[in-house]
Amino acid sequence: MKFTNGFWMVKDEFKADYVRDLLDVEETEDEVRFYGPYQKINGRGDTLNVGLMTYTITAPMPDVLGIRMQNHMGNYVKSPKFELTADMGRKPVVEELSLSFGDKAACEFIGKEWSFTSGRLSLHLTTGNPCMSFEAEGKQLTRIPAKTSGMMHRNDGRNFIVSGLNLGVGELVYGLGERFTAMVKNGQSVEMWNEDGGTASEISYKNIPFYYTTGGYGVFVNHPGRVGFEVASEKVETVQFSVEDEEMEYFVIYGPTPKEIITKYTAMTGRPALPPEWSFGLWLTTSFTTNYDEETVTGFIEGFEKRNIPLDVFHFDCFWMKRFQWCDFAWDPAMFPDPKGMLQRLHDRGLHICVWINPYIAQKSPLFKEGMDAGYLVRRPDGRVWQWDLWQAGMALVDFTNPDAYEWYQGKLRTLLEMGVDAFKTDFGERIPTDVVWHDGSDPQKMHNYYTHLYNGCVFDLLTEYRGEGEACLFARSATAGGQQFPVHWGGDSTSQYVSMAETLRAGLSLMDSGFGFWSHDIGGFEDDGSADLYKRWVAFGLLSSHSRLHGSSSYRVPWNYDEEACDVVRFFANLKKKLMPYIQGLAQEAHESGVPVLRPMHMVFPDDPACAYLDQQYMLGDRLLVAPVFSPDGKQKFYLPEGSWTHLLDGSKAEGGRYMEGTYDYFSLPLYVKDGGDDPLAALIS
């Protein structure tokens, strides 16, 4: 949110209480605190009729420092909150330094200097001035300048707590979740608010209040609600973040490399589970509004078998259940009279099975009354069940803050697992109201984004319990911080055109920059049918992602619906991915252990190469395999090879990097280069 008009003026609807001073550093056995009054304190009279920001400094892990800012502590509703795995009560090393008469934080001051240290990262401040500086290994990373932190009081009674960190010359910002806008976030206003907006807008299904910069550090705002980021936008020198609340905590994470930052961030918020090996193969779905039964499904699978196209997972989308009854978790008997037998027949063909679900209970569903009578559905303040008709007639929302509702929902899914289902597509989770009362008393504003974490966690926990470690797999659309623990996530509703394919990749790169290890998307685009040309180009991109799914809206995405060459293209890249699986499995294990994603933005692998900073039409699978999807019907694609010697995986041609290249590619090729010199499964493929 923007609060100012230019550098000098606060907007008319706001009154600013900036922290104007820092004083009274206090260290106890349990914590370190200092205080920031909203005016300069020159004498005892200045301590009256003035607000005061309370700062608490923590060191949850080496190279990480936390700042908790509190205005009126009694107004803070603590639930829900992110479940962090670090030692949140750990204190930094506190040192009182000599009197300072310098300009350390680019502000004039004379006072007592303090440092708070965790590993190689330190926070420096001097009493008598509001400026603070983060330093590591002898250099300043960023600073909190004057007129940056404090409270913004709107004339309608709403209060916002705000802070920010300065950017250096040329410093670029990445992350903030799945974003379809430019990969580099400088100049953008970004709101953390999960919404169902497709892939062609600035809103997102997966909002993650974490970013990192080319300055060697990351920032995680530990608040599940609507965090507003002004990324070199309101103030072009600063990343500003704010929440409508009385308390805000954020962590500065020193890397200095992107991979080290991601590793430390995911150590705090959770590492991705290791998906089952079968999940990395090709998925085929019934698509969304298509008409299908067992005969239709069997025909698809036989079509793949006839054409020798390897298929690993079959997914039943919405209409495996009866119309108007989503969700009742019961197969439509008119279309599937023998679901258990059908699933066994599919398993006998070597397939795993996924079915579509969401967290909504339509009024026509037999489960509506059951859930309403038991108190399992979210209610309005007056006690009525919250309902609307957007998506399903009279739909309600399962209240996952109620432990009994949590188990009730799992019980419905357990029946499907016993029947033979292997995985769930956990669709939706973004349309969460704020005019409701939650079972555990959670703040409705904070629960809007956090709901998806409870929803996906509920389903993933059941799969882990029932299938065992390493066999649990979702296909999830919405997420918040920590959601990377429940893979896999896909990129939402794209259109069937090249520009949408490109925006999908940008969003995937942004999500990988936000701590997510695995990612997929709808091959060919979700909306519309698209051309055979686009489908074949997207197949190469999709089968060179961590997870690969053929899915659409109103038409079947089987390749022969486009042309027979499409069948050849799907077969070619599906078999190529099979050959790459030893390499991809190694990357999956790395993502599970370190948080570093399988699919990596170029700047994550080559942070010292300035040419990689803005590249959003290519990526790396691991550190050795460069992929540049073709984004035009003429087959031409321009791409950049970083320094080093490279070998094209498909034709064996050699190229020296440090330059841009351009080529024209048929449907069975694309820029796909292996960096020479590695000792891994790729070496055998290019020998």
Residue pair 89/104 in contact (Cβ under 8 Å)? The answer is no
Which of the following is catalytic: 21, 113, 317, 430?
430
Helix or strand run (H / E) with residue 371 = helix 366-374
Tokens in use for 74?
């009694």
What are the pLDDT digits (tens) for 3-43?
999 988 999 999 999 999 999 999 988 889 999 999 999 99
Q: Model-level pTM? A: 0.96
Q: What is the CA radius of gyration of the chain?
A: 26
Structure confidence at residue 110 as a pLDDT band (50, 70, 90): low
State the residue for tokens 């739909």: 395
State the residue for tokens 């954020």: 250
Percentage helix, strand, coil for the chain under 3-state DSSP, each rounded to 5: 25, 30, 45
Helix pair 498-512, 532-542: axis angle to 10 deg: 10
Q: Which of 306, 293, 188 is nearest to 240 (CA)?
A: 188
Measure the CA–CA gap between 345 and 314, rounded to whole angstroms: 12
Q: CATH top-level class for 277-594? A: alpha beta
CATH architecture of the domain covering 600-686: Sandwich (2.60)
Helix pair 403-419, 339-348: axis angle to 10 deg: 60
Quote the mean pLDDT of the chain. 95
Which of the following is catalytic: 21, 328, 493, 522?
493
Measure the CA–CA gap between 190 and 209, rounded to whole angstroms: 10
* Confidence check: pLDDT of 108 > 80: no
- pLDDT recorded at residue 612: 98
Q: Which of 200, 168, 169, 175 is nearest to 190 (CA)?
A: 175
Segments making up each domain of the chain, as ranges: 277-594, 600-686
Measure the CA–CA gap between 605 and 626, rounded to whole angstroms: 10
What are the pLDDT digits (tens) for 172-223?
999 999 999 999 999 999 999 999 999 999 999 999 999 999 999 999 999 9
Q: Mean pLDDT across the stretch 132-141? A: 97
- pLDDT recorded at residue 105: 43
Q: Mean pLDDT across the stretch 368-379? A: 98
- pLDDT recorded at residue 99: 47
* Confidence check: pLDDT of 599 > 50: yes
* Confidence check: pLDDT of 109 > 90: no
Structure confidence at residue 668 as a pLDDT band (50, 70, 90): very high
Tokens in use for 215?
């300055």
For the question of residue 522 being annotated catalytic, the response is no
- pLDDT recorded at residue 79: 86
Q: What SS3 string covers 165-204? A: EECCCCCCEEECCCCCCCCCCCCEEEECCECCCCCCCCCE
- What φ, ψ does residue 36 adopt, rounded to 5°? -130, 95
Helix or strand run (H / E) with residue 252 = strand 247-254
Which of the following is catalytic: 246, 249, 427, 443?
427
Neighbouring CB atoms inside 10 A of 650's CB total 17
* Confidence check: pLDDT of 300 > 80: yes
Structure confidence at residue 98 as a pLDDT band (50, 70, 90): low
- pLDDT recorded at residue 58: 94
Structure confidence at residue 374 as a pLDDT band (50, 70, 90): very high
For the question of residue 493 being annotated catalytic, the response is yes
What are the pLDDT digits (tens) for 544-592?
999 999 999 999 999 999 999 999 999 999 999 999 999 999 999 999 9
* H-assigned helices in 244-313: 258-269, 294-306
Measure the CA–CA gap between 54 and 56, rounded to whole angstroms: 7
Measure the CA–CA gap between 99 and 24, rounded to whole angstroms: 15
- pLDDT recorded at residue 31: 85
What are the pLDDT digits (tens) for 401-442?
999 999 999 999 999 999 999 999 999 999 999 999 999 999
* Confidence check: pLDDT of 361 > 80: yes
Helix pair 403-419, 444-467: axis angle to 10 deg: 40
Structure confidence at residue 100 as a pLDDT band (50, 70, 90): very low
For the question of residue 348 being annotated catalytic, the response is no
Measure the CA–CA gap between 306 and 350, rounded to whole angstroms: 15
